Amino acid sequence: MAETKILVVEDEIAVRELLHATLTKVGYSVCLAGNADEARDIVTCDEIHLLLLDWMLPGMSGLDFAKWLKRDQQLAAMPVILLTARDEENFKVQGLEAGVDDYVTKPFSTRELLARIKAVLRRSGNDAAEIVRTHLGLEIDLSQHRVLAGNQFVPLGPTEFKLLHFFMTHQERVYSRSQILDMVWGRNVYIEERTVDVHIRRLRKALEPHGYQELVQTVRGVGYRFSEQPG
Ligand code: CA
């Protein structure tokens, strides 16, 4: 898993944008949908780790969408947090019966929302560790969005950051350029495989002053591997 991806389904643009900004800032990857139809397209073709679903949507309601999702064999395990402006017991029962994992009542505090997301991801086993370290002392911190080599900050561009996170969470295995594109850039993005080489070069260059450039190894004719063993 390259990173934790959350789908926000909310028709109110201001709330959607707020959620997008809030979740991105703490390191989640975020997809947005304005109604159930858009959400259905996204959950069926993209790997989503958690759904943040507004109850009141135009067309199919969030509750009905959750019911549909929980009946689908492939999708039923996807954790759902329902956003609702209704704080009444009766509605909570309906949601629980539909199989949603938790609720957040609007207006919500950012802190509460993030705590609930974390808890649901932890329960479902979908959370990516926030801090990943190599034995040799390279450290990536998702919540702070930074990389440390010893105690030194390693400045990385956003793509190099994602690439390094992917490698650090998938060590000692060889990946082809097309696999790396899928896992780091996403399956629905059309980019030339050569782009991977460009970002690998930048990543190595950023790691070089700290002596970690050789962790990113070229495997001739196949692709790349991240390894602490000499290549
Ligand atoms: Ca709404």
Q: Residue 180 C-alpha to ligand 1 middle, in angstroms? A: 36
- The answer to whether 5-129 and 134-226 have equal CATH topology is no
Residues with C-beta atoms within 5 A of ion ligand 1: 11, 54, 56
Question: Is the pLDDT assigned to residue 201 strictly greater than 90?
Answer: yes
Q: Residue 71 C-alpha to ligand 1 middle, in angstroms? A: 23
Higher-pLDDT residue of 57 and 230 is: 57
Mean predicted confidence (pLDDT) in 123-146: 77
Report the mean per-residue pLDDT for the chain: 88
Residue 100 and residue 81: Cα distance in Å, rounded? 6
Q: Residue 88 C-alpha to ligand 1 middle, in angstroms? A: 17
Q: pLDDT-based confidence at 200, cuts 50/70/90?
A: very high
Query: Cα 18–28–218 angle (5° rounding)?
Result: 145
Mean predicted confidence (pLDDT) in 196-213: 96
Q: Residue 123 C-alpha to ligand 1 middle, in angstroms? A: 27
Question: Is the pLDDT assigned to residue 178 strictly greater than 50?
Answer: yes
pTM passes above 0.85: no
Q: pLDDT-based confidence at 134, cuts 50/70/90?
A: confident
Q: pLDDT-based confidence at 206, cuts 50/70/90?
A: very high
Q: Residue 54 C-alpha to ligand 1 middle, in angstroms? A: 6
According to the model, what pLDDT value does residue 128 have? 62
Give the whole-number percent of the chain exceeding pLDDT 90.
Answer: 54
Q: pLDDT-based confidence at 97, cuts 50/70/90?
A: confident
Question: Is the pLDDT assigned to residue 2 strictly greater than 60?
Answer: no
Q: Is the sign of the CA dihedral 22, 188, 190, 212 positive or negative? A: positive
- Name the residue ranges covered by the structural domains of the chain: 5-129, 134-226
Q: Give the lowest-confidence range in 50-54, 61-65, 135-139.
A: 135-139
- Are 81 and 59 a contacting pair, CB within 8 Å? no
Q: Which fold has domain 134-226?
A: Arc Repressor Mutant, subunit A (1.10.10)
Q: Residue 64 C-alpha to ligand 1 middle, in angstroms? A: 14
According to the model, what pLDDT value does residue 185 have? 84
Distant-in-sequence, close-in-space partners of 29: CB < 8 Å, separation ≥ 6: 2, 3, 4, 5, 6
Q: Residue 56 C-alpha to ligand 1 middle, in angstroms? A: 4
Q: Give the lowest-confidence range in 12-21, 53-62, 85-94, 191-200.
A: 85-94
Query: Cα 13–16–18 angle (5° rounding)?
Result: 110
Q: Residue 18 C-alpha to ligand 1 middle, in angstroms? A: 13
According to the model, what pLDDT value does residue 1 have? 38
Residue 2 and residue 26: Cα distance in Å, rounded? 15
Does domain 5-129 fall into CATH 2.30.30.40? no
Q: Residue 17 C-alpha to ligand 1 middle, in angstroms? A: 13
